[in-house]
Amino acid sequence: MQSQHIVENRILRQLSADELKSIQPWLVPMQLEPNTVLHEQGAEIDHIYFPLSGMISLLAVMQSGDAIETGIVGAEGVLGGDAAINGHLSGQATVQMNGAALMMPKRRFVDAYHAHPHLRDLVSRYQSILLMQAQQNAACHALHSVRNRLCRWLLQSQDMIGSDTFTLTQEFLSHMLGVRRTSVSIDAHALQEAGLIRYSRGNIKILNRNGLEDCACECYSIIRAATDNMMGS
């Protein structure tokens, strides 16, 4: 595992040299492919993941198969850290945008978690971020318009992958926003007409980030500020 990968993850790059030395042999590079399920809802986990790029969605999946997003994980955090310590993952974790990650066996992670207070503190702080995301998302779905939420989601996606161009289908967006595809189509078209994005067959290019920020609901800035405050900007 190449050492330069470490700086791409916000938790790993804050560890001391001794902490990194103790876990580095167990960090295995892997590619994150879209639609890959890393953790099944309610299942015991075998590995935890430190994303380096890309985006992973945390989903609450209903018996009908319908799902809604409760949070997202990217290079600022870790997937499965709390579940490795405290039990089963409550939701499903699915890769939504391709990228890379460092995978670590659960047993090795648990050993490191108990051995290194700094790692334990960073993981605990990130779990607070995920809980805050879930709470903010619940309020957002109830109180804010589809267009406001769509703008927020596009901004978060751009932050995660560091690019103004990415692929998000209307079907995927409808699941994430908890609305019908027709609603996504109407609002995506309105954003395109306003010159904020270019959208064609799932391919999105952000043309005016400032305009998207003006249109997005307050949840975007709240989550971003809290993440930078808790995890380091």
Q: What are the start-end ranges of the E strands in 45-161?
A: 47-51, 55-61, 67-73, 92-97, 99-105
Average pLDDT on 16-41 reads: 93
Would you state the pLDDT for residue 147? 94
Would you state the pLDDT for residue 211? 96
Encode pLDDT of 93-136 as tens digits.
999 899 999 999 999 999 999 999 999 999 999 999 999 999 99
Would you state the pLDDT for residue 89? 64
Encode pLDDT of 67-101 as tens digits.
788 889 999 999 998 877 776 666 899 998 999 99
Q: What is the mean pLDDT of the chain?
A: 89
Report domain extents, the chain: 3-115, 141-231
Residues 176/57, Cβ–Cβ less than 8 Å: yes
Superfamily of domain 3-115: Jelly Rolls (2.60.120.10)
User: Looking at domain 141-231, which of 1.10.10.10, 3.30.70.360, 1.10.287.110, 1.10.580.10 is its CATH number?
Assistant: 1.10.10.10
Strands 92-97 and 99-105: unpaired
Would you state the pLDDT for residue 6? 67
Encode pLDDT of 4-24 as tens digits.
566 789 999 999 999 999 999
| 121-125 long-range contacts, CB within 8 A, separation 24+ | 122/11, 122/14, 122/15, 122/231, 123/11, 123/78, 123/81, 123/82, 125/230, 125/231
Encode pLDDT of 152-166 as tens digits.
989 998 998 888 998
Residues 199 and 7: their CA atoms lie apart, in Å, by 33
Instruction: Look at residues 74, 133, 82, 137 and name the one whose alpha carbon lies nearest to residue 110.
Output: 82
